[in-house]
Amino acid sequence: MKDVAEFIARGRNVFAKHVVDVDPKIRAGSEVVIVDEDDVLLGVGKARLNSLEMKTAKYGEAVRPRHTVKR
């Protein structure tokens, strides 16, 4: 995910193929915190998939950012 962290911080969507880890309690529609692999805050958004789908999907939007930290 490091290679796309800059794009996400600028408000771009998080795609499932870039998800490294996810809290198993997340459901589609949940408000989530988006961090990079070093736990640096990138933003917050709404989950479009549940946790299992985020971990197994090879394509598709996982999170739609609502607010991001522009670097």
pLDDT given for residue 70 in this prediction: 80
Q: What is the CATH number of the domain that holds 15?
A: 2.30.130.10
- For the entire predicted model, the pTM comes to 0.88
pLDDT given for residue 53 in this prediction: 97
Over range 31-60, report the average pLDDT.
96
Number of domains in the chain: 1
Collapsing DSSP to helix, strand or coil, 1 comes out as coil
Average pLDDT, the chain: 94
Q: Report the sign of the C-alpha dihedral through residues 59, 62, 67, 70, in that order.
A: negative
Domain that holds residue 27: 2-68
Over range 7-23, report the average pLDDT.
94
Collapsing DSSP to helix, strand or coil, 29 comes out as coil
pLDDT given for residue 71 in this prediction: 64
